[in-house]
Amino acid sequence: MKKIYMMAAAAMLCSNLFAQIDSVDFESFSLNPQSYDNGSAGNGNFMFSSISFSNYYDAAWGSWNGFSISNVVDNTTSGFGNQYASYTGGGKNSSNYAIFYPSGTIEAMGNALIDSFYITNTTFAGISMRDGDAFSKQFGSVNGANGIPDGTNGEDFFRVWVIAQNYFSQTYDSTLIYLADYRNADNSQDYILQDWIKVDVSSMYARTISFRFESSDMGAWGINTPTYFALDNLYYSLWEGVNEISELQISSYPNPFIDQLIVQGENGMLELRDVNGKLLHSEELTVSTIIETASLPVGIYFLQLTNDRGTVLHKVIK
């Protein structure tokens, strides 16, 4: 899977180093079997604890934007009438999941920051790309839906930019996810995504997530490919003690790390802690140091640097 990352140089001042991981799997949302909620009741955004999924329903047109909640399992019926089904035939190890169309946001409330989530194609988009329809081309074909060569030479793609607005109200392109990719020299490597894949935005300290679609199948009115995807199992961190931004500088590499973690930053007391705040290593940092990490289990860790200018927190992953 091809991904593009632009990392934020992020830092937080904490009076108490602690982050609790929680998740949204949509199972608490009440739905009848094989049904969906597209916001037609006019209640607005869907709220799950500290996470808000945008929803706008236009009663005049009977249409919606943002997220719907669904448990539809039909991954064989083509067309707009089956717009609320995931191409996997269900959620990520669960019944309920969300459907996104065509614009909207996920927002973390209070002291929550978004870490990751899983996405896949919808049945509507997946079959449209696989077989083509009256409006959208069959991916891999040299022709558009009108039967005329469209200039792609069959090298088609459907992708979504995941855009994170971080804790500091700065916006960065975070991850580029290919929902379909037919640009491979070896045609056997062409694919339409039909599995749940993880989108990790933990390095972005994301308060708000938005999305932007791109497709090789374009027409006079924009993208011809149905601009949908399914989403499930969103994970987020609940921070305690985060209260302001620090100007202290700290960096580390590699990140993710394996056996060693190289840390660079201002002079001060450096501490390495786990997600529960347990102290694992401490030393006086003078420009740079190497921390041996081979014995640490896979997980999320935090570097904390403190001097007379303040305290900075830096997230690292093994």
**Long-range own/partner contacts, residues 257-261 (CB < 8 A, 24 or more apart):** 257/293, 257/316, 257/317, 257/318, 258/293, 258/294, 258/318, 259/292, 259/293, 259/294, 260/290, 260/291, 260/292, 260/293, 260/294, 261/290, 261/291, 261/293, 261/316
Supply the DSSP symbol for 3. -
Residues of the chain with pLDDT under 70: 1-19, 167-173, 240-248, 276
Domains and CATH numbers, the chain: 13-241 (2.60.120.1350), 247-317 (2.60.40.3080)
pLDDT at position 314 is 79
Say how far apart CA 209 and CA 19 lie, in whole Å.
20
What phi, psi does 187 have (nearest 5°)?
A: -60, -20
Q: Provide the 3-class DSSP secondary structure of residue 80.
A: helix
Say how far apart CA 2 and CA 226 lie, in whole Å.
21
Bond into 297 cis (ω within 30): no
pLDDT at position 240 is 59
Confirm if 136 and 130 have CB atoms less than 8 A apart. no
pLDDT at position 264 is 87
Look at the block and give the residue holding tokens 């499930």.
Answer: 232
Say how far apart CA 200 and CA 112 lie, in whole Å.
15
pLDDT at position 2 is 29
pLDDT at position 301 is 85
| pTM of structure | 0.74
Bond into 33 cis (ω within 30): no
pLDDT at position 175 is 85
Amino acid at residue number 300: I
pLDDT at position 168 is 55
pLDDT at position 305 is 86
Say how far apart CA 104 and CA 67 lie, in whole Å.
7
pLDDT at position 308 is 82
Residue 196 Cα distances to 83, 106, 203, 247, angstroms: 17, 18, 21, 38
pLDDT at position 126 is 98
